[in-house]
Amino acid sequence: MERRQFLHTALAGGSLIAASGIANAQEAEKAQLKEDELFGKKFKMKYAPHAGHFKNHAGADYFDQMKFASEVGFTAWEDNFLGRKPPEFQEKVGKTLADLGMTMGVFVAQYPTKEACFANPTQQQKDEVLQRIKDSLEVAKRVNCTWMTVVPGNFVNNLEFSYQTANAIDLLRRCAEILEPEGKVMVLEPLNPWTNHAGCFLAKIPHAYEICRGVNSPSCKILNDLYHQQIAEGNLIDNYKLAKSEIAYIQTGDNPGRKEPGTGEINYRNIFKYLHEDGYDGVIGMEHGISQGGKEGELKLIKAYRDADNF
């Protein structure tokens, strides 16, 4: 019988607890994870899990999941929907991160929309975008976060694309004016139009690079989601090399399926090795699902990052 299978069988019957003297099943599992070299040792890179990634091991409580991720060895955290949570919750997130010595990754300031809210915005849309940036700045302060995601919406068919790009640059400059004095950074996320986001205005890294160069602000950079870019354009390492002066944040997810590394076609170990050797010290957000349910799926997730981090 394999060791992990024995662990779960023993936990069910209580025999492992009695034999080892460990007070409860959770501590027994932690001991097994340490033995399997999945638990405790910090990762080389700042991979950032999401709430829900470890709910079967840590329970439903958001903050217990953060603590479990830290105990596993993760040193960052990501929450796209943090801006929708109450201010007191956000403040508790910031305090918990500080206590755990973890880095807060992105939350979403501007959500994907089918409206052309950057490419061809109305005055109302401009006002709404600027207000969301102001509100997001307050969230970032509460959680001591540097980055926030901005997705520029869709394109329109009745306006030359270069004009749409210029419109986006103009609005992003106004956003940057809000963020720059506070040292906060909006990261523009290109989304793939083929599988998930048909009609999106910003789909590829070169276009995001062009826009960031046009905005010309340290508060306007790129979020390079490698799942989206594998679908949209591929050539992941070379596109990173060409645009890295404007890339401030990275996210993962294998393709097809958008699950943990090792479940698709992307060689994440090579990518992480390159990023590490090139000096990337930012957060790598784990914006993906898990290929298997239950505790075994969570163990598989941890092992996937241990394997990809083994360079």
Residue 121 pLDDT more than 70? Answer: yes
Cα angle 53, 57, 59 (rounded to 5 degrees) comes to 85
CATH code at 40-308: 3.20.20.150
C-alpha closest to that of 260 among 296, 234, 227, 294: 227
> What confidence tens digit (pLDDT) does each residue in 145-192 have?
999 999 999 999 999 999 999 999 999 999 999 999 999 999 999 999
Count of other CB atoms within 10 angstroms of residue 34: 13
Residue 76 pLDDT more than 60? Answer: yes
d(CA 145, CA 122): 30
pLDDT value, residue 23: 59
Q: Please report, for the chain, the start and end positions of each structural domain, with discontinuous segments joined by +.
A: 1-36, 40-308
pLDDT value, residue 20: 52
Rounded to an integer, the average pLDDT of 181-204 is 98
On whether the pTM is more than 0.85, the answer is: yes
pLDDT value, residue 16: 44
d(CA 48, CA 288): 11
> What confidence tens digit (pLDDT) does each residue in 25-68 have?
778 777 888 878 899 999 999 999 999 999 999 999 999 999 99
Tell me the percentage of the chain whose pLDDT exceeds 90: 88
